Amino acid sequence: MNRCLELAAQGKYYVAPNPMVGCVFVKDNMIVSEGYHRGFGMPHAEVDAFENLPNDINASECDIYVNLEPCSHFGKTPPCAELITKIRPNRIVIGAQDPNPLVSGKGIQHMVGAGITVVENILSDECMGLNKFFYSAYQNKVPFITLKWAETKDSFIGRLENDSSNRKISDQRNDAFVHDLRASHQAILVGAITLTQDNPLLNVRYSDGKDPIKIILSPNLSIDMEASTLKIGHTIVYNSKTSIKKDNVELVLLENFTLSNVLHDLYQRNIHSVLVEGGAKTLQHFIDLEYWDEIIKLKSSESWNDGVPAPHLSIEPNRKKKSFNDIISFYNRS
């Protein structure tokens, strides 16, 4: 199962909103075939591992291990539970149930009903942890929310409006870590003030993986439509004025502009994870309403003496680590 998790993780940047899944076939205590879900719309892990099995090995003499319950539905690919019942392995060992209502237990039922030996809940915490976005989104019906910001030693998150001094806070050597966060979330969200003042690109430059969908919150539609980020990738601008789609920018009208409605709309669009990068007001809003699952704070070693105050958090981190000249704190809700 640990090997399944390692294989699954190779799909990290490419499978969302699907989960990361790895699968191995074992014969006489030896792994004889491996596979994983390589990308959204591509074959599932079980199919990949089955196709990689050497011709001279009979699949029915193997134990099959997979970190997620095999699916029971016709989606972009046929049901894996069906494939397993055709193979009739010695047994199938599953990490954790699939929370997708199209599956959730039906894959297991199908195989047990066909007389296959099914072993469940092996390393289930690790299996659910790897796919925490996927599990959390189906459980809460909103995306998994990560809040991330960098603040100075004296707790400033940005410069005052007319101050043109250097804006960079975190150690440049942590850019790869921050961009890996961008690449591993499906969407990145900022408020209108950040878009206007910082003109950020919000893309992935210092890590592998693809750019997240960009979400801008602008109730009054006060953003500059010439902002750099609107020229690249896909952007959704939630507002209370108008709905219109032009090229790669989608303006989405919310009659009742609340964070809760934004999050529900994102979930409806199959977005399972959102990285909130600022600014202070937007982050504080998420904190005050307790709309977050994880907070990642990078604290630099420099003081600025003045600036825009960082968001206020009244809890202690679960974990802290020194990373180059920054201290990174991690806060988890569950």
Stretch that binds ligand AOF, among 96-104, 241-249, 306-314, 317-325 (CB under 6 A): 96-104
Whichever of 102 and 244 has its CB closer to ligand AOF, that residue is: 102
* Stretch 15-54: interaction string toward ligand AOF, x if CB under 6 A: ---xx-x---------------x------xxx--------
Name the residue type at position 102. L
Question: Which residue from 20, 32, 71, 298 is in contact with Zn ion, where contact means CB under 5 A?
Answer: 71
Three-class DSSP category at 207: coil
Identify the bridge partners of residue 239 per DSSP, sorted by sequence position.
253
Nearest to 128 by CA among 290, 244, 5: 5
Strand duo 187-191 + 294-299: pairing: unpaired
Orientation angle between helical segments 106-113 and 80-87, nearest 10 degrees: 20
* Stretch 103-142: interaction string toward ligand AOF, x if CB under 6 A: x---------------------------------------
Three-class DSSP category at 29: coil
User: DSSP string covering 83-126, please?
Assistant: HHHHH--SEEEEEE---STTTTTHHHHHHHHTT--EE--SSHHH
Q: Which of 34, 46, 151, 277 is catalytic?
A: 46
Q: Does residue 316 carry a catalytic annotation? A: no
CB of 177 to ligand AOF, least distance (A): 27
Whichever of 80 and 128 has its CB closer to Zn ion, that residue is: 80
Please confirm whether the linkage preceding 17 is cis (ω < 30° from 0): yes
Q: Is 229 in the site for ligand AOF (CB under 6 A)?
A: no
Binding site for ligand AOF (CB under 6 A): 18-19, 21, 37, 44-46, 68, 70-71, 75-77, 80, 98, 100, 103
Contact residues toward Zn ion (CB under 5 A) are 44, 71, 80
